[in-house]
């Protein structure tokens, strides 16, 4: 019970990596406030994970007032917050930067980056009380870049920089700040992304091959790493961008070398 009696505020927690995290956090003893902007997604998650120790909140992470209210409801319900896991994110559009519209750019940064600003702004006082921690879901592309995903890669590069800067800012309060950086992970978002790529027929083979371990995993492998980072097992880890990538930073090069 690594997270016994811990209260975790988890955004984007009703599907994909977020829901895998929700399940493993709950199994480890945590109480959860799970945020999603989709009523349908909340209903589907509730059908699998329902408990008096799980509070579902419909809110748009990019809207400050909505997150302020969600934080307040969490504290009213559970009495505290020990962990904020900023997992909510989107990847659209699959375009080069000159093809990306201003609206697409703004939505990407609002969901992937501004959301962290919002949860931290309204949740940091609670974390100071509990000497809690923050976990951000980033991506390997934030460090490596990715073709036809310039705007998305830029948001994840921003998440990485934020993570390190926040780790320095909040260390004096005993608050740790870390990030996980997956490569390919089979989630609803990745499946939708796959259908947007130029060669959809070969995308599964491509995603398997970019990982040095030879396969594209499900979200549970990332959730296991997240469990470690938010728990006291990682009590001396902060400012870390942890790849959970199956060696994809090597695998990309392996695929590239095979095609030359």
pLDDT tens by residue, the chain, 260 residues: 999 999 999 999 999 999 999 999 999 999 999 999 999 999 999 999 999 999 999 999 999 999 999 999 999 999 999 999 999 999 888 899 999 999 999 999 999 999 999 999 999 999 999 999 999 999 999 998 888 889 999 999 999 999 999 999 999 999 999 999 998 776 667 666 666 555 556 667 777 667 767 777 777 899 999 999 999 999 999 999 999 987 788 755 444 444 33
Q: Residue 115 in contact with residue 158, Cβ under 8 Å?
A: no
Asked, for residue 147, whether it belongs to a domain, the answer is yes
Please check whether residue 176 is in contact with residue 131, taking contact to mean a CB–CB distance below 8 angstroms.
Answer: no
Residue 199 in any domain: the answer is no
In this structure, is residue 206 part of a structural domain? no
- Residue 112 structural domain: 7-189+217-247
In the chain, the number of structural domains is 1
Provide the annotated active-site residues.
152
- The CA distance from 54 to 221, in Å, is 22
Q: Nearest Cα to 163, choosing from 223, 219, 117, 204?
A: 117
User: How much is the pTM?
Assistant: 0.90
65 token code pair: 């007032």
pLDDT of res. 102? 97
With respect to residue 73, please indicate whether it lies within any of the assigned structural domains.
Answer: yes
Q: Taking Cα atoms as reference points, which of 6, 10, 26 lies closest to residue 81?
A: 6
Q: What CATH number does residue 145 fall under?
A: 3.40.50.720
In a domain, 130, yes or no: yes
Residue 179 is assigned to a structural domain of this protein:
yes
Residue 115 forms part of a structural domain: yes
- CB-based contact 89:112 (threshold 8 Å): yes
pLDDT at 177: 99
Distance in angstroms (rounded) separating the CA atoms of residues 130 and 132: 5
Euclidean distance between CA atoms 75 and 169, whole angstroms: 23
Residue 253, in any domain of the structure:
no
Give the residue among 91, 71, 70, 92 at the shortest CA–CA distance from 80: 71
CB atoms within 10 A of CB 73: 15
- Cis link prior to 93 (omega < 30° from 0)? yes
Which run of H or E residues covers position 35? Answer: strand 31-36
């Amino acid at each position: 019970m690594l997270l016994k009696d811990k209260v975790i505020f988890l955004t984007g927690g009703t599907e994909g990596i977020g829901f895998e995290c929700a399940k493993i956090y709950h199994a480890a003893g945590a109480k959860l406030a799970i945020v999603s902007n989709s009523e349908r997604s909340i209903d589907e998650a509730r059908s699998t994970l329902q408990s008096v120790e799980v509070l579902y909140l419909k809110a748009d992470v990019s809207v400050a007032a909505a997150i302020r209210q969600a934080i307040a409801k969490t504290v009213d319900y559970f009495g505290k917050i020990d962990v904020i896991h900023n997992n909510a994110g989107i990847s659209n559009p699959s375009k080069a930067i000159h093809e990306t519209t201003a609206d697409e750019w703004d939505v990407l940064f609002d969901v992937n980056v501004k959301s962290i600003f919002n949860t931290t702004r309204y949740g940091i006082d609670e974390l100071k009380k509990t000497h809690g921690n923050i976990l951000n879901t980033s991506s390997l592309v934030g460090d490596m870049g990715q073709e036809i995903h310039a705007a998305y890669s830029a948001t994840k590069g921003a998440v990485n920089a934020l993570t390190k800067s926040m780790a320095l800012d909040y260390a004096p309060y005993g608050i740790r700040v870390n990030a996980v950086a997956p490569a390919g992970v089979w989630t609803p978002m990745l499946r939708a992304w796959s259908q947007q790529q130029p060669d959809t027929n070969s995308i599964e083979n491509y995603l398997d091959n970019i990982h040095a371990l030879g396969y594209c995993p499900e979200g549970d492998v990332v959730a296991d790493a997240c469990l470690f980072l938010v728990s006291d097992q990682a009590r001396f880890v902060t400012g870390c961008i942890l790849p959970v990538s199956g060696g994809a930073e090597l695998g990309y090069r392996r695929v590239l070398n095979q095609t030359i």
